[in-house]
Structure 1
Amino acid sequence: MGKWGEVVDAATVEEFEVQWMQLFNMCKDKYSNFTSYCSTTWLVHKEKFAKAWTNHVMHFGTTTSNRAEGAHASLKKMLRDCKGDLATSWDASHSLTCNRHTEILASFERSIHRIDHIFMCPFYTAIPPHVLLHSLSRMSSRDPLRAQHHTGSARPQSE
C-alpha cells in the first residue's frame, strides 16, 4: 500500500503522474493484472479521491463519506502515531475521544446561539431570542414567502 499511497497522496497532478509511472513500471511485468485493474477501475475516477485534485475543493478536512469513517480514520492515525504499550494507546484514544466530545458540545452550543441570515428580517424580530434555530427553520420551511424577506433588520441577540 506504500507506493499506492504515494500516488494517491501526491500534491500536484505532475507528482501524481510521476508516482503513478514509478508504480506502473515497478509492477507492469510481474503484476500486470494489478496495473490493469488500477488503470481501468481506479484511475478513471482519480479526480474524486487523489489529493492532486481533491485539495483544490474546499472540503474542510472531510475526506470520507461519513462521520463514522472519519472517526475511524482519526483513531487509526492516532494509533499508528502512538508508539507504546496498551496503556499508552488507551490514554491516547481516550484523549482523542474527549477532545471530539468537547468539539461536539461546542458545535451544539454554537448552533443554539447562531442566527442564520435568513432570520435577520423584521418578521422574526418579535420572536424571543431563546427560540432554537431548529424551530425557526421549521417555521421558515412552512412559509417560504416569509423566508424570502431580507430587509436587513436583525433580530436582537440575547447575552
Structure 2
Amino acid sequence: MPLLDILGVDGLDQGFTIGVAFMNGESEDDYAWAVKILRSQLDKANFLAIPTKLVLCFWHISMNVSSNCKKYFETEEVWEDFLKVFRNVLYTKTEEEFEDALEEWKEAFHWNNGERWQVGVDATPANIQEVLEKEMSQTALTYCCGRWLGKYKKQVVHCYVDQFFHGGTTTTSRLEGAHSILKRWIGKPTKDLSSTWDAVKLAINHRVNHIR
C-alpha cells in the first residue's frame, strides 16, 4: 500500500509531518480522498487563516520539459540555453516581466507567431537545415507554451504564484527528503500495518524533538 506523507513548514523553515495515510493506490481519486480526510480533521478556523493556491513543482516541470523537448535541439549548448531561458520566464517577479521575458524567449527561439517557416524554391541545403532547426525549436516552444504557460501559468510562474502564501515551497524536494527519512525509519516494506505505524510514530516524535 502506498504511504502518503503530508508535510508542513514552520516559521523557521523547518519541515514537519502533518499526517500520513495508507492509500489503495496513487490515482487522483486516492489523493483527493487523503486531502478530504485531512481537511475533515482541521478546525474550521484553519481554512480561513492563510488563503493559498495550488502550486506545481518547478523541478518536475523542468524534468517534463527536458523529457519532451530536448530531442528537438541539435546541440547540448543550444538546449541548455533554451531551458535556462524557460526557467527565467518561470521565475519572473511581475506580470510585465513575464510578458517581456516570454516574448524575448519566443523571438530567440524562432516562434514566428506560431506560423510555419517557409523554404524558398531556390533554397540551398544550408537554408533548408536552418529552417529545420527553427521549426524544431518552434515545436519545443509550442509544447512549453501549450502545456505549461497556458492553462497552468498561474500555478507555475512566480509573478502569479507569489501572490499567495506558499512558505517558499515551490518544489517537492523538501517532501521527498522527509519521505526518504520516514522510509528509513519504517525499514523493510514487508512489515505489518501495526509495526509500520509504530515506526511512523517514532519518526514523527524524533522530528518534533529535533524542532524543539
User: Where on the TM-score scale, by shorter chain, does this alignment land: which range?
Assistant: 0.3 to 0.5
Given the two structures, how large is their TM-score scaled by the length of structure 1? 0.43
Structure with greater helix percent: 1
Larger of the two Rg values belongs to structure: 1
Question: Which structure is higher in RCO with an 8 Å CA cutoff and minimum separation 6?
Answer: 2
Structure with greater strand percent: 2
